Structure 1
Amino acid sequence: MKTLNSIFNKTLAAILAIGMIAFAGCSIDSTPGMGTLEVKLHDAPADYDEVNVFIERVEVNNSEDEESGWQVVSEPNQQYNLLELTNGVFEMIGEVELEEGFYPQIRLILSRDNNNVVIDGEVHDLFIPSGAQTGVKLNVNAEIEEGFTYTLLLDFDALRSVHKTGQSPVLDYILKPVIRATNEAVTGNIGGVVNPIEARAAVFAIAGEDTLSSTYANEESGEFLLVGLEDGTYDVSVEPREEGFGSEYLENVEVTVGETTDLETIELTTESNE
């Protein structure tokens, strides 16, 4: 009898455990008819000390009228140094539950103040022509589905966004944001290590004539990660930023959604001074 009771108790415990696991797998905290939008910020590298951008709000639109239908995703009211968001480092700048549906646009409302570029230790104000009034608008075509999270990657290209005007010190530098938006769910990455570390290499993922992702290899480990690449084939160019090293060009590197293609170690040749 004890054996039968023991078997029964173990069976009951197993059934309850399975039931609890199944119950835990349900989205019990999600709101019916709602999905989640996440917005992550990252950057391509640039040869400045810092590029600081102050983001007041992140908004999304599901209306055909671009002047109406904007909903607030988040209000960071925070300054971000874009050059800290390279090599696979992201900053979450917004997360919100939205009604399921199609959201064609997102925009960043930037502050008129608190934007600057630091060059050789000197701080220069960044003038933004219209970002504070109308926002930096991006076509994203995000489809929000009930119970699912849609993660949007915003690649804020500091190198292409900062422009020296040559005018008065007040308008010495202006910011014309260049931002590429991708759906994280349909992207993969390319990673590896560049040797020698002393080469301080820049790494580029190229499709046709377009550079779609770039980064600097880590100056302590030589590691690099090119993120936000859609499924397909890319060429990878590795260029030293220090003299005395050769470059490398790898063709037909395959990227698969949800995976990181590991190029392992890329050895740069040492050029002779003779």
Structure 2
Amino acid sequence: MKTTFRQAGLFAGSVIAAVSLSACGGGGGGSGSSAPAPVSTAGTLKVSLTDAPACGYDAVNVTVNKVRVNASATAADTDGGWTDITLSPAKKINLLNLTNGVLESLGQATLPAGHYSQIRLVLDANIGTGLANSVVPSGGTETTLSTPSAVQSGIKLSNEFDVAAGQSADLVLDFDACKSVVTQGKGRYLLKPVVKVVPALATGISGYVATSLLGSHVSVSAQQNGAIVGATVPDPTTGAFSLTHLPAGNYDVVITADNSAAGVIGAVPVAASGSTTLSTASAPLTLATSATGSISGTVSLPANATEAAYVAAKQSFAAGPTVTVKYAGADLATGAYTIANLPLAAPQYAVYSTARPLVLTPSATVQPGVGKYRVDASGTGYTAKTITMVDISATSATKVDFTLAP
């Protein structure tokens, strides 16, 4: 997935787009060697885009018109104080091309040094063919991705940052395509943007998965307490993966693929600089084969609900982390969801160490049990619901329904 414009995360990540801010340096010199150079009072804003992987799509396209920046967190789109980075012509970007650290530059602008509290990402409206913003379902044809009017006035992103005189400030807009595309029934798709703003840090987690897994919908995510912070898909030829722009801290790395047991590496450290490497091309991470099942059902939402709901299948390791193995969004119109290809075999687990290769071994002490999952339903503005034990080991498909209220 390597596109020029790239949810929210969204777990991530996990699919990717980036915004970079870079300050301009210095002013002009004096006419003589003894004259001091004037001090710059401005910096440069550079904007890039990245994405976490999307679920069930061959392409997720958005057409970026401009990026807007304001010092006021409450400034409306018609208020003063905006600095615009305008893309001329507007740029249609397949978010799924922006993964493994690939960034799409959206341009740059000079800003007065100071504190800024609002960023807006402005998309073109769907007119004419209606494909300025679009999706291609796996194996399907390009279809309009409806954009609410608020998207055309600008996707408001919560972030505060400083631009120092003569300095550069780099930000990345991480667009979670998986959570940003919501089905509406009858083959319709709605854009509900899930975008997080992160510093353009040269930090993260990298490695290789076995090439034998490629072509089976491999996903690699960095999680904390079961929440997906970043996600990516390996290179389709080499199996290389890179989870980039992760803040310093410890992460649980979860690897999934069709017809395979899940693999988890616990407590992977990310320092303030540099990348933590988990495996090499000569000794890649691999997964054991596994039969699979699915969990599906309906998430009933309040009448006239406008926010999407998501259902996640989770497992916990004894004296180890809780991780999300897979998740899916519920259709906004019907509430239907399906989490497919959930492994029945025990997940493989290893605690991070500097010894190589890391060896993943089956963990029979997983909770709620092998072939069993804790299932959570949640969404913005809803009270989350949990079913602590769903057993899919005795059947290939299990039905679980939820009702979410504000």
Report the TM-score when normalising by structure 2.
0.56
Equivalent residue for 1:174? 190
Shift of residue 209 of structure 1?
Answer: 2.7
Partners of 2:44 and 2:171 in 1: how far apart?
Answer: 11
Is the CA contact 1:57–1:72 (under 8 Å) kept in the aligned structure 2? Answer: yes
* Structure 2 residue 45 is the aligned partner of structure 1 residue 37: yes
User: Following the alignment from structure 1 to structure 2, what is the Cα–Cα distance between the partners of residues 43 and 224?
Assistant: 14
Structure with greater proportional helix content: 1
d(CA) in 2 for partners of 1:154, 1:197: 32
Find the counterpart in structure 2 of residue 53 from structure 1.
Answer: 62
Q: Any stretches of 5+ residues in structure 1 without a counterpart?
A: 1-25
**Post-superposition shift, 1:66?**
1.5
Alignment of 1:1-274 (within 5 A): 27-28=25-26, 32-46=40-54, 47-67=56-76, 68=79, 69-76=81-88, 77-113=90-126, 114-119=132-137, 120-167=139-186, 172-185=188-201, 188-199=203-214, 200=216, 201-240=218-257, 242-243=258-259, 245-264=260-279, 265-271=284-290
Q: CA distance change for structure 1 residues 50 and 133 in 2, over 3 Å: closer, same or farther?
A: closer
1:14-47 deviation line (CA, Å, top 9, x unaligned): xxxxxxxxxxxx9446871011222110001113
Deviation of residue 249 (structure 1)? 0.3
- Mapped partners of 1:211, 1:272: distance in 2: 25
Q: 1:257 to 1:205 in 2, by over 3 A?
A: same
Secondary structure at 1:159's aligned position in 2? Answer: helix
Shift of 1:127: 0.6
TM-superposition CA deviations, 1:131-173 (whole Å, max 9, x none): 4442100112010001111111111111101111015x6xx11
Shift in alpha-carbon separation, 1:272–1:132, aligned structure 2, 3 A: closer
Shift of 1:272: 8.4
Aligned residues: 242
Q: Which amino acid counterpart does residue 272 of structure 2 have in structure 1? A: V
Asked if 1 retains the 8 angstrom alpha-carbon contact of 2:25 and 2:167, the reply is: no
State the Cα RMSD in Å.
2.1
TM-score by length of 1: 0.82
- Distance in 2 (CA, whole Å) between partners of 1:121 and 1:64 is 41
Q: Which amino acid letter does the alignment assign opposite residue 125 of structure 1?
A: T
- Distance in 2 between the 1:226 and 1:272 partners? 28
Question: 1:183 deviation in Å?
Answer: 1.2
| Counterpart code for 1:246 | A
User: Which residue matches 2:385?
Assistant: none
Structure 2 gap segments, 5+ residues each: 1-23, 29-38, 127-131, 293-406
Deviation string 1:69-91 (CA, Å, 9 cap, x unpaired) is 22102325111000000111110
- 1:75 aligned counterpart, secondary structure: strand
Report if the CA contact (8 A) 1:196-1:268 is conserved: no
Give the Å deviation of 1:270. Answer: 3.7
Which protein has the bigger strand share? Answer: 1
CA change 1:130–1:194 in 2 (3 A) is: same
